[in-house]
Structure 1
Amino acid sequence: MNYTFPKDFIWGTATSAHQIEGNNTNSDWWEWEQSKKYFSQSSGVVSEREFPLEASGIACDSYNRYEEDFDLCVDLNNNAVRISIEWARIEPTQGNFDEKEILHYKKVLKAAKVRGLKTFVTLHHFTNPIWFSKIGGWTNVNAPSYFAKYAKKCAEEFYDLIDVFLTINEPQVYVYMSYFHGIWPPNKVSAVLSLWVQINLARANNRAYDDIKGSPSKKRVAPIIGIVKNIVWHEVSKSSKNPLDHVVAKFLNFIGSGFFFLLVKNKFDVIGLNYYFTNRIKNLKTKNPDDVTNDLGWWIYPKGLENVLLSLKKYGVDIFVTENGLADDKDEKRESFIRDMLESCVKAIDKGVNLKGYFHWSLLDNYEWHHGFWPCFGLVRVDRKTLKRSKRPSFKYYSEICKTGELKL
């Protein structure tokens, strides 16, 4: 049996600037990556976990090879691409916008548009300008204002080249990794700061939403603006006999999803959903079957995507799966992963979810944050020495789905 997606369904792949561009020297992540060279145990560094596994360096050199990458999107029969603009490039020092970098991103966006690719553009994907970090980053009470000024500048400069503005990527992942777990810069471990930064990120989204909506457009068409949420679904283990597990699962789903949507107060026209895995709860702890996992050990559970999509139905807006993929260096599981995840999308659509598009993560093997380069999420392999791009077998499989809009169930 085949399922045919609507003709206007969005098919794409996703990337982010810091992970593929290279030499993002004005960002807090770059500064942190370089810190391992200059600090030792005697200087107060207490653990290797305070450093990334390796530095991003030139990454995939997509700052210079973006046209080659967009050509790969065309080969994939994509009709859209999700990329990000790097705040640290646009505003390298406070209040000073770099015209050279603005021109660069105009070229990037035009290169996508001339290839028939709709542009879904993220304005904040985990990285911050160094100057912003030095004044407290997202703990600064004025942080939403600083971000909104940058977002407004992007709207003014790129308005007619961006189809969908995505304000902030995975705000709660950023909070957890940077302020609760302390793995990412600024390496804080504080429940109080975690709550405050969540509030500030929501305020930033709300301010940016209003400012982008108020920006002039030659097209005279209201911009489409969304927030991107990573949602880890929590459900009770089938073998659980503890009634409190149901309470815990419900609470974790609220904290991981519902809470932030309360904060953003409907300041979004669409929802971008990033889904990677589900956690099962047994005796108040995570207890996953782990029968099928990716290279990072994440449990692959397509039914979880359907569950999350159904949970978002209540917001009454269009939804795009803006990230969904797996680390799979040998490309042994990616085809079945794509098929099974898209089948879950079909089931959600049949149940009334306004799902309008799917972006696979990722187009390229890239810099996977503190893990470095070893997790391979790409439909395209990138040789770390030569940066040569080569298509994995799953590339052809996904390209056929994108071309025909048909999924064989």
Structure 2
Amino acid sequence: MTASDRSFPADFLWGSATAGHQVEGGNFNSDCWALEHASPSIFAEPSGDAVDQWNRFDDDMAILAAIGLKAYRFGIEWARIEPVEGVFARSALDHYQRCIDACHQRGITPVVTFHHFTIPLWLARKGGMTSDQFPALFARYCETVTRALRGLVVVCSMNEMNVPLIIRDVALGLLAGEEGAAKRAAAEAVLGAPIESNFLFTPPDALLRNGLGAHAAGRDAIKSVRPEVQVGITLSLQDEQAEPGAEAVRDARVAKMVDPFLDLVAGDDFIGVQTYTRTTSRKDGTHGPRAGEPVTAMGYEDRPDALAAVCRYVWHRTRTPIIVTENGFSGDDDDRRAAFIGESLGALQCAIADGVDVRGYFYWSLLDNYEWMAGYGPKFGIVGVDRATQQRRIKRSALAYGAIARAGGLDVGSTAPTPMPLASGTPIGVT
């Protein structure tokens, strides 16, 4: 790798990411808010005020700009914009317009996610994504938002469309046994609908039919109003490997959880890659971190080079531009977080030098926030939050990442991994 190869593209999006429900607080018209307050609940604790970004968005953009980042991925909440079916809240749309304006005023590119796991409670009571009305309702929402908001640049239609498949065994495990049955009953009572109406419990057939159908309908609705806006979907994609003799197990996972989604969204303006780790399939049909390897606070194998491996696979299979919409490290060791970011970007830089079309990197997350069913325990943020006061604290990892972004890349030196070429049919990553 020569010195001239050590920079990312000049227009590369250096950013960080959050999701509306995880940071805004008070999203009480959503299905997740209802589920958090069920008793007993599948959630460790309710989101409450979260980290109050609803009121602190402008201040958080000042922090992001001070770090040296030039892009921010954030969510708009359908439950706020359409709290009652067919009734769109002008006040919520005005709020999100102010958020977009706050980005542009600081030279920050807004990357807006229209659906990040949550939906309005009224839509959950129709069945959520299991309802065949879902694609048309999502398209109406997308068109309304796109007509109302100025300054949209990049839009993620839906977040991690394939994640219900990936977490299905874990999700169903939460509902197993006597305790699980009680949680299911409480959840369905507050939802007024089967648990499958919540995105994280969506059955596979509904994902492929109504989920991907909604993405296509929403993308077309956005483009019909603002054809210049770049639209894509984000997918949860880990570096899929296999222990000797378990290659068929791995290949079956990829064929079920990855390839159908890549095939159906190839040709979008971009694919959002969200990678945190490597997972290894075993001959007994299970998968997880390799024995003896370090893991993060979430139990993920600490494997920063997984990101580049996944990007190589996605580019090889789809030839669709990539934006890394999430990549991050969970834990209290902020020095390790800083190193993880540098190692991830070093390997990604090598992939870009080899021709993989990656156009942005968004670290997850800007803030220590609400991590869904795990509550406030896991810490991913490059900015800490004292939830008693909502005071922000810039961590060393933020400064380390900001330095890379300001420099437009890093000198990977002789320690950069040498990736192997992908042959036709090779599963995600070659390590």
Unaligned runs of 5+ in 2: 176-186, 188-193, 413-431
Q: Which residue of the partner structure matches residue 37 of structure 2? A: 34
Q: Does 1:199 align with 2:209?
A: yes
Across the aligned residues of Structure 1 and Structure 2, the Cα RMSD in angstroms comes to: 2.2
CA contact (8 A) 1:25 1:31 kept: yes
- Name which of 387, 402, 407 aligns with 1:404: 407
Corresponding pairs, count = 386
Q: Does 1:181 align with 2:171?
A: yes
- Name which of 1, 8, 12 aligns with 1:9: 12
Q: Which residue of the partner structure matches residue 427 of structure 2? A: none
- Name which of 104, 122, 127 aligns with 1:113: 104
Q: Does 1:153 align with 2:154?
A: no
Secondary structure of the residue aligned to 1:229 is strand
User: Shift in Å at residue 30 of structure 1?
Assistant: 0.4
Give the whole-Å Cα distance in 2 for the aligned partners of 1:263 and 1:395.
36
Deviations 1:373-402 (A, max 9, x none): 010100001012111100111111111011
Deviations 1:330-359 (A, max 9, x none): 313111101111112112112211011100
TM normalised by structure 2 equals: 0.85
Letter of the structure 2 residue corresponding to residue 9 of structure 1: F
Q: Which residue of the partner structure matches residue 236 of structure 1? A: 242
CA contact (8 A) 1:209 1:267 kept: no
Q: Does 1:51 align with 2:53?
A: no
Q: Which residue of the partner structure matches residue 82 of structure 2? A: 91
Secondary structure of the residue aligned to 2:100 is helix
Letter of the structure 2 residue corresponding to residue 307 of structure 1: A
CA contact (8 A) 2:307 2:327 kept: no
Give the whole-Å Cα distance in 2 for the aligned partners of 1:100 and 1:181.
35
Q: Which residue of the partner structure matches residue 156 of structure 2? A: 166
Residues 282 and 174 (structure 1 numbering): CA distance in 2 closer, same or farther, change over 3 Å? closer
Q: Which residue of the partner structure matches residue 253 of structure 2? A: 252
Give the whole-Å Cα distance in 2 for the aligned partners of 1:115 and 1:192.
39
Secondary structure of the residue aligned to 1:332 is helix
Letter of the structure 1 residue corresponding to residue 203 of structure 2: L
- Of residues 270-279 and 298-307 in structure 1, the stretch that sits farther from structure 2 once superposed is 298-307
CA contact (8 A) 2:165 2:257 kept: no
CA contact (8 A) 1:199 1:263 kept: no
User: Shift in Å at residue 406 of structure 1?
Assistant: 2.6
- Name which of 124, 129, 132 aligns with 2:120: 129
Residues 138 and 320 (structure 1 numbering): CA distance in 2 closer, same or farther, change over 3 Å? same
Unaligned runs of 5+ in 1: 40-49
Q: Which residue of the partner structure matches residue 345 of structure 1? A: 348
Secondary structure of the residue aligned to 2:331 is coil
TM normalised by structure 1 equals: 0.89
User: Shift in Å at residue 33 of structure 1?
Assistant: 0.8
Give the whole-Å Cα distance in 1 for the aligned partners of 2:169 and 2:264.
18
User: Shift in Å at residue 5 of structure 1?
Assistant: 1.7
User: Shift in Å at residue 204 of structure 1?
Assistant: 0.1
Give the whole-Å Cα distance in 1 for the aligned partners of 2:57 and 2:221.
29
User: Shift in Å at residue 256 of structure 1?
Assistant: 2.2
- Of residues 249-258 and 131-140 in structure 1, the stretch that sits farther from structure 2 once superposed is 249-258
Residues 192 and 296 (structure 1 numbering): CA distance in 2 closer, same or farther, change over 3 Å? closer
Q: Which residue of the partner structure matches residue 75 of structure 1? A: 66
Deviations 1:200-221 (A, max 9, x none): 1100001111111111x4xxx6
User: Shift in Å at residue 64 of structure 1?
Assistant: 0.2
- Of residues 15-24 and 225-234 in structure 1, the stretch that sits farther from structure 2 once superposed is 225-234
Q: Which residue of the partner structure matches residue 224 of structure 1? A: 230
Residues 175 and 286 (structure 1 numbering): CA distance in 2 closer, same or farther, change over 3 Å? closer
User: Shift in Å at residue 179 of structure 1?
Assistant: 9.4
CA contact (8 A) 2:23 2:369 kept: yes
Q: Which residue of the partner structure matches residue 279 of structure 2? A: 279
Give the whole-Å Cα distance in 1 for the aligned partners of 2:263 and 2:351.
23
Q: Which residue of the partner structure matches residue 318 of structure 1? A: 321
- Name which of 214, 218, 221 aligns with 1:208: 218
Residues 262 and 85 (structure 1 numbering): CA distance in 2 closer, same or farther, change over 3 Å? same
- Name which of 138, 144, 150 aligns with 2:135: 144
